[in-house]
């Protein structure tokens, strides 16, 4: 990964100069907690139940030979992380997990101290420290001295947390640990701040780390919590601009340091998923077709320019909503699209990242759900990867604003997703897409739902041929039942099926919208001019006030997608030199040559397709509200009758 021009190199010599200090912290230090209460034993109590003769600690580092360790002859009382880590793995010798954690802890501490030193030099804090040590710090500058120390503390804590998370990212497994909120976050000076953080880590390891996998998961959870806490408190700290306004890079680790922003690795973890081939998706013709095209669109992303020609020319789907009844194929659609992207990226050598934000990311701790949502968004939008993020059952995960049934965590998630999908700072580079899926989209907050730029109606098999195809597909080959008079999978031929599906939207499907369409058509005739199309949109808005300007934007975006309604040739994906590895300008030219003209019929179809979904959601939402009110009234009547009976 190439560094950016505004980044300063954090020299390796400056980092290694802090190794002895980092090693001493890991070996042992005294710390009396000021803000938190101890949850686990420290000091001499650690490891006291081990059998005689069993080594209880990882051996001490020799600073002259990085990575080599020797037995410590004396230990400080208090926090001894080397011993605590050895205790967690339950082995007399250092395990690979324990050794990795210790190495990365030392490295992260040294990087953080080097950043603190750079901050102190740039801000003049170094001279103030020297004057204070010699007893000649002027009284008027003591407030400045305290503010700079606090700012340096937050910079060091954030860098330590982010570097530790970055270095350990490749070791993350399936284990998940919830450690709760960190309390011992101090800002008196950098060393005390690190002591407080390491005391918290010692407590977390003692409480949660029962083996190597849990050890790594615990340290990663700690790093995430510390990063969030340091950012929350440090962002508003006086004199912090020297840290937040600068960018560094650690070349040996390819680690970018940019204020409080957590860095993300370009590498992608192995994706464990049962992929589906397009021919295994029966029905759902438009949804399948758009998902297949979107997968190829993403592959047009240019890693040098950090931009996708489709995002610039129009027609890129950044967010979409897939809705349908249970069992109609939403999960299969996700598996198909993720599988296509995974295969395309393998051929091109691109890093691919898939993440799903599920109900388990809603946390009882205040603010944690929002943090989880932000981390999910950041991972997928990372401009160094091709990203695909899904929010399955979004009606259960993101709550309606002001809804009595929505928890605080659900409200946090709604706010984060709305800001990420169409906020003031949203940048659509074209390297990622987000899909929201639901059986009950009417339960999703209106404003969040309207941030879905495209609608994928996942209605499953519809025709007789569809049902024969899916039955044959799911039965497999281990039977002797004859097929009969049927052209197998002919109905799934994508171009013909999609053309028929789009043609069905020449007229609306929902009764409410049919009435509006009939009135406008009777008055204006064929909707073949911009004036008539605009009048139709206004009539829809009068029938449903929720049909706002955002809906018009989504419709026009969908029309632009239709203008890009062509298949990028399969050979472009199979042989990257033909397209994927071409310069950005050449990619844009090749795509522009395939673009189709926009027609009035195309616009009418997209208006009807989008408005149908909004009317369908509104009708279901209103019906549910009426049902709820009826149930409440019945309960009130029953309660009143029972009260009067008991009173008599």
554 pLDDT tier (thresholds 50, 70, 90): confident
Ramachandran region, residue 297 (left: φ > 0; alpha: ψ -120 to 50; beta: rest)? alpha
The mean pLDDT value for 162-186 works out to 84
CB atoms within 10 A of CB 373: 25
Residue 588 has pLDDT above 90, yes or no: no
- pLDDT category, 621, cuts 50, 70, 90? low
Average pLDDT value for residue range 17-42: 86
Distances (CA, A) of 573 to 166, 293, 373: 31, 12, 32
Q: Which of the pair, 224 or 94, is modelled with greater confidence?
A: 224
On the question of pLDDT at 60 being above 70, the answer is no
Q: What is the pLDDT of residues 300-343, one digit of tens each?
A: 999 888 899 988 887 788 998 887 777 777 888 888 899 999 98
Contact 294, 317 (CB under 8 A): yes
pLDDT at 517: 92
pLDDT in tens, 262-291: 886 544 445 556 677 776 677 667 778 888
Beta-carbon contacts of residue 484 (< 8 Å; ≥ 6 apart): none
By DSSP bridging, strand 432-438 and strand 319-323 are parallel
The DSSP 8-state label assigned to residue 392 in this structure reads T
pLDDT of residue 64: 36
- Dist CA 282 CA 470 (whole Å): 6
HEC states along 214-245?
A: HHHHHHHHHHHHHHHHHHHHHCCCCCCHHHHC
Instruction: Give me the pLDDT at residue 491, please.
Output: 63
| CA distance to 31, 244, 283, 352, 366, per residue, from 178 (Å) | 24, 29, 41, 27, 14
d(CA 72, CA 389): 48
Q: Which region among 69-73, 102-106, 142-146 has the lowest average model confidence (pLDDT)?
A: 69-73
- Per-residue confidence (pLDDT) for residue 50, from 0 to 100: 41
Tokens representing residue 76 in the block: 């400080």
Which pairs count as long-range contacts for 570-579, CB under 8 Å and 24+ apart, including other chains? 572/296, 573/296, 573/299, 573/344, 573/347, 573/348, 574/347, 576/347, 576/348, 576/349, 579/300
The predicted model gives 108-124 an average pLDDT of 95
Helix (H, G, I), strand (E, B) or coil at 198: helix
Do 440 and 460 meet the contact criterion of CB atoms below 8 Å apart? no
Convert 261-298 to b/e letters by CB count within 10 Å (16 or more is b).
ebbbbeebeebeeeebebebbbbbbbbbbbbbbbbbbb
Residue 463 to residues 75, 290, 470, 489, 609, Cα–Cα distance (Å): 75, 20, 11, 12, 20
Q: Specify the 3-state DSSP secondary structure of 40.
A: coil
227 to each of 168, 319, 375, 544, how far by Cα in Å? 14, 28, 11, 45
Residue ranges per structural domain of the chain: 8-258, 278-625
pLDDT, residue 107, reads: 95
Q: What share of the chain is helix, strand, coil (3-state, %, to 5)?
A: 55, 10, 35
> Which residues on adjacent β-strands are paired with residue 61?
69
Distance CA 89, CA 50 (A): 13
Dist CA 506 CA 557 (whole Å): 18
Mean pLDDT computed over 187-210: 92
Residue-wise pLDDT for 287-310, tens only, equals 788 888 889 889 999 988 889 998
* Contacts (Cβ under 8 Å, ≥6 apart) of 239: 123, 144, 147, 148, 151
pLDDT (average), residues 489-505: 65
Which are the contacts of 594, defined by CB distance < 8 A and separation ≥ 6? 564, 566, 568
pLDDT given at position 129: 92
Neighbours of 122 (CB within 10 A): 12
d(CA 575, CA 559): 30
Distance, in Å, from the CA atom of 178 to the CA atom of 214, rounded to the nearest integer, reads 11
The position carrying tokens 């897409």 is 433
pLDDT surpassing 80 at residue 462: no
Confidence (pLDDT) at 555: 86
Mean pLDDT of 568-579: 85
Identify which of 510, 330, 335 has the alpha carbon closest to the alpha carbon of residue 436: 330
| Residues 369-409: tens digit of each pLDDT | 888 888 889 889 888 889 999 998 888 888 777 666 778 88
At 514, list the tokens.
């049919």
Instruction: Count CA atoms closer than 13 A to 482's CA, side-chain side.
Output: 3
State which fold the 278-625 domain adopts: Rossmann fold (3.40.50)
pLDDT for position 55: 41
Q: Which residue has the higher pLDDT, 467 or 148?
A: 148
| Residue 91 in this model has a pLDDT that exceeds 50 | yes
| pLDDT surpasses 90 at 192 | yes
The secondary structure of residue 68, as a DSSP letter, is E
Give tens-digit pLDDT for 74-87. Answer: 333 488 999 899 88
Q: What is the pLDDT of residue 308?
A: 92
Q: So what's the pLDDT on residue 234?
A: 92
Residue 604 to residues 442, 519, 524, 566: CA-CA distances in angstroms?
24, 15, 14, 19
Average confidence score pLDDT of the chain: 81
The pair of structure tokens assigned to 21 is 């200090």
């Amino acid at each position: 990964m190439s560094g950016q021009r505004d980044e300063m190199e954090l020299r390796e010599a400056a980092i290694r100069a802090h190794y002895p200090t980092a090693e001493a912290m890991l070996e042992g230090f005294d710390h009396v907690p000021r803000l938190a209460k101890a949850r686990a034993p420290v000091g001499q109590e650690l490891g006291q139940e081990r059998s005689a003769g069993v080594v209880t600690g990882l051996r001490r580092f020799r600073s002259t030979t990085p990575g080599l360790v020797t037995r410590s002859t004396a230990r400080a009382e208090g926090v001894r992380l080397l011993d605590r880590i050895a205790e967690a793995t339950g082995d007399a010798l250092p395990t690979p997990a324990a050794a990795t954690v210790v190495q990365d802890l030392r490295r992260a501490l040294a990087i953080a101290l080097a950043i603190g030193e750079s901050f102190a030099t740039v801000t003049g804090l170094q001279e103030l420290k020297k004057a204070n040590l010699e007893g000649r710090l002027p009284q008027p500058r003591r407030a400045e001295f305290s503010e700079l120390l606090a700012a340096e503390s937050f910079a060091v804590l954030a860098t330590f947390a982010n570097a530790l998370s970055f270095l350990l990212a490749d070791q993350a497994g399936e284990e998940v640990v919830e450690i709760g909120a960190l309390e011992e976050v101090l800002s008196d000076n950098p060393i005390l701040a690190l002591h407080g953080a390491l005391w918290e880590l010692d407590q977390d390891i003692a409480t949660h780390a029962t083996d190597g996998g849990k050890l790594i998961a615990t340290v990663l959870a700690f790093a995430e919590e510390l990063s969030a806490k340091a950012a929350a408190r440090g962002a508003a700290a006086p004199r912090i601009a020297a840290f937040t306004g600068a960018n560094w890079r650690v070349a040996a680790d390819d680690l970018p340091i940019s204020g409080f922003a957590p860095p993300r690795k370009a590498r992608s973890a192995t994706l464990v998923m049962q992929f589906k081939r397009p021919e295994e998706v029966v029905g759902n013709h438009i949804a399948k077709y758009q998902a297949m095209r979107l997968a190829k669109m993403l592959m047009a992303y240019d890693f040098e320019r950090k931009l996708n020609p489709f995002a610039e020319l129009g027609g890129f789907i950044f967010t979409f909503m897939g809705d349908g009844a249970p069992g109609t194929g939403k999960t299969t659609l996700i598996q198909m699209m993720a599988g296509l992207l995974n295969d395309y990226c393998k051929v091109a050598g691109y890093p691919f990242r898939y993440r799903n934000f599920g109900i388990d990311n809603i946390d009882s701790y205040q603010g944690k759900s929002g943090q989880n949502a932000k981390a999910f968004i950041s991972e997928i939008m990372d401009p160094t990867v091709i990203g695909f993020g899904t929010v399955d059952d979004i009606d259960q995960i993101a709550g309606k604003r002001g809804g009595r049934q929505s928890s605080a965590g659900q409200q946090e998630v709604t706010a984060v997703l709305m800001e990420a999908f169409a906020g003031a700072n949203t940048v659509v580079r074209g390297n990622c897409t987000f899909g929201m899926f639901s059986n009950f989209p009417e339960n999703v907050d209106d404003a969040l739902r309207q941030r879905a730029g495209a609608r994928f109606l996942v209605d499953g098999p519809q025709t007789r041929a569809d049902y024969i195809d899916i039955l044959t597909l799911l039965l497999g080959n281990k039977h002797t039942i004859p097929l009969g008079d049927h052209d197998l999978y002919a109905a799934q031929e994508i171009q013909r099926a999609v053309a028929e599906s789009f043609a069905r939207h020449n007229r609306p499907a929902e009764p409410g919208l049919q009435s509006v369409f009939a009135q406008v058509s009777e008055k204006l005739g064929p909707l073949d001019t911009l004036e008539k199309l605009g009048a139709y949109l206004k009539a829809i808005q009068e029938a449903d006030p929720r049909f706002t300007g955002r809906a018009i934007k989504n419709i026009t975006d969908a029309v632009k997608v239709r203008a890009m309604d062509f298949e990028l040739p399969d050979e472009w994906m199979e042989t990257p030199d033909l397209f994927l590895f071409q310069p950005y300008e050449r990619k844009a030219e090749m795509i522009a040559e395939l673009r189709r003209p926009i027609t009035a019929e195309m616009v009418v179809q997209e208006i009807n397709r989008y408005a149908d979904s909004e009317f369908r959601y509104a009708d279901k939402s209103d019906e549910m509200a009426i049902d709820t009110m009826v149930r409440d009234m019945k309960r009130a009547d029953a309660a009143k009758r029972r009260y009067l009976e008991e009173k008599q």
